[in-house]
Amino acid sequence: MNKSKVLGVIPARLKSTRLPRKMLLEIFGKPLIYWTWKQAKKAKFLDAVIIATDSKEIFDTVRGFGAEVMMTSPKCKTGSDRVAEASRKYKKFKPDIVINIQGDEPMMPPKAINQVAKILVDFKDLVMSSVCVPITNKEDLNNHGIPKVVLDRNNYALYFSRFSIPYPREQVKRYFKHIGLYGFKYNFLQKFVKFKKTPLEKAESLEQLRVLENGYKIKMGIGKYNRMEVNEKNELDAVIKIFKDKNDFKKSNRNK
């Protein structure tokens, strides 16, 4: 049996609203998007990693540090649309599996990427996978910026919400935080981006609900991953501090 070909795609746009131009903001002399790409390149399940953007400035910056990059249409409304277009246009091989890696995740653990890919490699009938982590900080439960997920007994997603779910009428032993890392079978990704937005997706502003509302399943991996998404200035500052405290990041910065 031929090995599944897995393509990692990092969608990157310049016009972010909460933190303008965040993909190009520097962390130890390198743009944020560089660090996300560097983490993704460590994932052993990925046969290739490309950055997909509609920004010439991002395109030129990315080529400058040696990453593979592709220009995509400015009409793409979501990261998934951009990932789908990039995977269609990719010429080195036709991917069987496509992993959508958020560009603002400079600390994305390679093991999380591998886990999302491995689920789709192991379960041939699945069309989508993702990953979540147990919530250990009670403040995260009431943070609407952190999506939560409820799982069934086989670790399929039942529902995603920005609210604390499930409601603790009785004691709840574990809550899960969803990490915005998505694995798709190639054919399903191309189908998914053609679906119309669904009511729950609009209500929660979580596009993965479009998958569930159309009757498909999302298999979730569970891990203990430390990472930080960068949406605001305080999160960027926190990442810089973490990088500063880690010798491996300081060494890699000096050697580049």
**Which of 97, 22, 30, 27 has the alpha carbon at shortest distance from 62?**
30
C-alpha closest to that of 151 among 109, 212, 106, 62: 212
Domain contains 206: yes
pLDDT of residue 203: 97
**Residue 101 falls inside a structural domain:** yes
Q: Can you give the pLDDT at residue 1?
A: 41
Contact 99, 87 (CB under 8 A): no
Could you tell me if residue 1 is inside a domain? no
Query: Exposed, middle or buried, 18 (CB in 10 Å: 0-12/13-18/19+)?
Result: exposed
138 assigned to some structural domain: yes
Give me 146's structure tokens: 């952190």
What's the total number of domains in the chain?
1
Average pLDDT over residues 123-137: 95
- Pairing state between β 157-161 and 148-151: antiparallel
Over 60: is that where the pLDDT of 11 sits? yes
Residue 78 pLDDT greater than 70, yes or no = yes
Assigned domain for 13 exists: yes
How far apart (Å, rounded) are the C-alpha atoms in residues 84 and 187? 10
For residues 193 and 172, which has the higher predicted lDDT (pLDDT)? 193
Secondary structure letter of residue 28 according to DSSP? T
What is the pLDDT confidence band of residue 247, given thresholds at 50, 70 and 90? Answer: low
* Residue 200, in any domain of the structure: yes
pLDDT at 132 over 70: yes
Helix%, strand%, coil% for the chain, nearest 5: 35, 20, 45
- Report how far residue 144's alpha carbon sits from residue 153's, in angstroms, rounded to the nearest whole number: 25
| CATH assignment at residue 228 | 3.90.550.10
Q: Which domain holds residue 152?
A: 6-255
Total-model pTM: 0.92
Indicate left, alpha or beta for 241 from its phi (over 0: left) and psi (-120 to 50: alpha): alpha
From the list 37, 22, 220, the residue with the least C-alpha distance to 116 is 220
- Give the model's confidence band at 80: pLDDT under 50 very low, under 70 low, under 90 confident, else very high: very high
Instruction: Please check whether residue 223 lies inside any domain of the structure.
Output: yes
d(CA 219, CA 194): 21
Least confident of 26-35, 103-112, 243-252: 243-252
Alpha helices in the chain (DSSP H): 32-41, 56-64, 79-89, 110-122, 138-141, 186-192, 199-204, 209-213, 233-245, 247-255
Which of the four pLDDT bands, split at 50, 70 and 90, describes residue 254?
low
- Within-domain flag for 242: yes
